[in-house]
Chain A
Amino acid sequence: GAVVSQHPSWVICKSGTSVKIECRSLDFQATTMFWYRQFPKQSLMLMATSNEGSKATYEQGVEKDKFLINHASLTLSTLTVTSAHPEDSSFYICSARSDRVNGYTFGSGTRLTVV
């Protein structure tokens, strides 16, 4: 079945540094990639939607200059948290959708801790 590989699974970084999270679709082409953020004991909140080769569309309240999304190829999308602060600590999850693969395939998530 469709698999999305998300790395790293966890990362600890210092305040002010940047962190890059990668999501790769291993056996299908991800036409659309979604990035979510999930705080403890809460639901998934959509941050942005990106289509291959296009600029990402960000949800209201999500700073596009802080959360940089790149979807340069049909198999790779990255989320970079720039100048991270402790309040950015969260669980980040990607989800890929393909016109050929029915449904949505989620990555395993990245636990980001900013200290």
Chain B
Amino acid sequence: GESVGLHLPTLSVQEGDNSIINCAYSNSASDYFIWYKQESGKGPQFIIDIRSNMDKRQGQRVTVLLNKTVKHLSLQIAATQPGDSAVYFCAENIGGSGAGSYQLTFGKGTKLSVIP
């Protein structure tokens, strides 16, 4: 079935630089997207989300961009820090009112390594 995918499995960046993590999704019915950070041996941690009626949303040091035309989602981290090193997942939800309306489908993940 349709699933969320990522372009880059690994990303290494210099401390202080900006990071961009990409995600391609194929389900045009998805209307809610979330970025999660997962550190080794821990559960996913919410970073930022965006609904399909928006194309950009900003948080603290993070920005999510949504391009529905090409079904692409990106996470931008400004001034990347060593503590940002983790695996990042995008997740999508198709919404609606059916039994699976709240289910999240996760992408494959990108490992971000920050070089001090």
Contact = CB atoms under 8 A, between A and B. Distances in A.
Interface in B27-76: 34, 36, 41-46, 49
A108 B43 contact: yes
Given A34-B104, A93-B43, A103-B46, A43 B99 contact: no
B41 A109 contact: yes
Contacts of B44: 44, 93, 95, 106
Contacts of A93: 43-44
Interface centre among B36, B43, B102, by most A CB within 10 Å? B43
Interface residues of A, number: 21
Contact of B42 (A42, A45, A95, A109): A109
A6 B43 contact: yes
A111 B43 CA distance: 11
A103 B103 CA distance: 11
A109 B102 contact: no
Given A44-B106, A57-B100, A93-B43, 18 more contacts: A42-B108, A43-B89, A43-B107, A43-B108, A46-B103, A49-B99, A49-B100, A49-B102, A49-B103, A57-B99, A93-B44, A95-B104, A103-B34, A103-B46, A106-B44, A108-B42, A109-B41, A109-B42
Contacts of A78: none
Given A43-B89, A44-B89, A57-B99, A104 B43 contact: no
B114 to A, nearest CB: 19
A76 B36 CA distance: 24
B43 A107 contact: yes
Contacts of B42: 108-109
A32 interface: yes
Given A103-B34, A103-B49, A104-B34, A46 B41 contact: no
A97 B101 CA distance: 12
Contacts of A108: 42-43
A71 B44 CA distance: 21
